[in-house]
């Protein structure tokens, strides 16, 4: 191999390597499969110039506790709670929409959450 052939082949290799790397990166492997989401979050209405978020695990909808469940909002500078009955959790699981008003916090304000399980 002479110098010219070497330089041409090296140039081709430099151009081909990024393409090969990109193409092999598009393949699917067992390690690249994302884990399923374990729940969903809902942001409250705005009250007193702020909102809160509550996270609802999917297991609470698919296997609702017989006594229902109480959820606590985030962030924790102050919290609000909402309680859903077993029937409300079951209804959410089947596609219903629930509108729930929180218990007032120490300042007396409340928030409303409109809940719907993502499709």
Are 103 and 68 in a shared domain?
yes
Min mean pLDDT across 1-5, 63-67, 74-78 is at 1-5
Are 85 and 62 in a shared domain?
yes
Answering whether pTM is above 0.75, one says no
* Three-state secondary structure readout of the chain: CCHHHHHHHHHHHHHHHHHHHHHHHCCCCHHHCCCCCCEEEEECCCECCECCEEEEEHHHHHCCCCCCEEEECECCCCCCEEEECHHHHHHHHCCCEEEEECCCCCCCCCCEEEEECCC
Are 49 and 102 in a shared domain?
yes
- In the chain, the number of structural domains is 2
Task: For residue range 11-63, list pLDDT tens digits in order.
Answer: 565 555 454 434 444 443 344 444 458 999 999 999 988 999 999 999 999 99
Task: For residue range 100-111, list pLDDT tens digits in order.
Answer: 999 877 778 899
The distance of Cα 5 from the centroid of its chain, to the nearest Å, equals: 54
User: Which structural domain, as residue segments, surrounds residue 47?
Assistant: 39-116
Give the angle subtended at the CA of 106 by the CAs of 101 and 109, to the nearest 5°.
40
Give the angle subtended at the CA of 80 by the CAs of 77 and 85, to the nearest 5°.
150
């Amino acid at each position: 191999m002479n110098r010219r052939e070497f330089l041409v082949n090296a140039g081709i290799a430099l151009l081909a390597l990024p393409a090969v790397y990109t193409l092999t990166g598009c393949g699917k492997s067992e390690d690249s499969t994302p884990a399923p989401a374990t729940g969903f979050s809902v942001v409250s209405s705005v009250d007193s110039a702020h909102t809160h978020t509550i996270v609802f695990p999917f297991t609470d909808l698919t296997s609702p506790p017989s006594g229902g469940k109480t959820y606590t909002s985030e962030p924790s500078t102050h919290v609000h709670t909402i309680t859903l009955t077993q029937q409300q959790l079951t209804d959410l699981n089947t596609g219903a929409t629930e509108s729930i008003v929180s218990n007032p916090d120490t300042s007396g304000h409340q928030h409303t959450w409109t809940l719907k399980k993502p499709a």
